[in-house]
Amino acid sequence: MRHPVTLICLAIVVAFVAIAAFGPLILPQDPLAQSFIARLKPPSAAHWFGTDRYGRDVFARVLLGTRWSLLLGLAAPLIAGTLGTLIGAFAGFYGGWFDRIAGRVADLLMAFPSLLLGILLAAALGPGFGNLIAAVAFAFLPRFIRVARASTLAVRSEPYVEASFAAGEHPLRIVLRHVLPNISGPVIVVGTLWIATAIRIEATLSFIGLGVQPPAPSWGNIIRDGLTNILGSPWPVVTAGFTLTLCVLAFNIVGDAVRDALDPDYRE
């Protein structure tokens, strides 16, 4: 919080969250309304970001697209972090065959880049926002498994865990009461950093037609639609691309700040 850049990016993140939550209530135009007369208009007082080839207000579409991008950006890491932390914690704590299977599956999935794995899963599941969240969450799952497992192996040898064993506590109670709270720091750091990646993957999948389906606006499909008439009106590409870049950059910097605050190695 001592760094001005972090505070500025935190304010930008809060602004994006507020837009995602309350943006549909303050839309200046109907983002789905088409007008042949208003096609490919430059920015003006009536249309702050101009209009696209269908005469739709780009500013309203970018505002509404914020909701889809942030919803996936928060939901996918949350789902992957919850499942991956539980799997990794139990694998690292109990060991044995479950640890070997979980480790091999995580290694196999991590051989694929997250974007490529997300594309494969989204194509297999088909279009739909629910399928998109499932695909991105599954693509992130092995990262959380590895982080949770490594942290659990370090925590498992701590004196307070050994004392719990000696006191006769049930292993499940030890995991829930002692292990999970003490590995939450690294998991939160990873989850914060992967929010920006999830937003970027959502935009990519929407750009190639596997994400949010038209006419619902998403930053990715706004850029795709704008490319078809970029010489006539570059404003959909420029504004949606800038908004996407600003959002990803802000979340990355905030994620780095969270890492610096929670990771003892970086604090030192």
| Structure confidence by residue, pLDDT tens digits, 246-266 | 999 999 998 888 887 776 555
Q: Buried b vs exposed e over 139-161: b needs ≥16 C-beta within 10 Å?
A: bbbbbbbbbbbebbbebbeeeeb
What pLDDT is stored for residue 264 in this prediction?
Answer: 57
Hey, where are the domains in the chain? 4-267
The Cα angle at residue 221 between residues 217 and 226, in degrees rounded to 5: 105
Give the residue ranges of the chain where pLDDT is below 70.
Answer: 263-268
- C-alpha–C-alpha distance, residues 88 and 145, integer Å: 4
What pLDDT is stored for residue 247 in this prediction?
Answer: 92
> Can you read off the two tokens belonging to residue 153?
């192996």
φ and ψ of 51, to 5 deg: -130, 160
What pLDDT is stored for residue 268 in this prediction?
Answer: 52
pTM, two decimals, is 0.84
CATH of 4-267, one of 3.40.50.2000, 1.10.3720.10, 3.40.50.300, 3.30.413.10: 1.10.3720.10
Residues 36 and 53: beta-carbon distance below 8 Å: no
What pLDDT is stored for residue 245 in this prediction?
Answer: 93
What pLDDT is stored for residue 265 in this prediction?
Answer: 58
Identify the residue whose tokens are 């701590």.
158
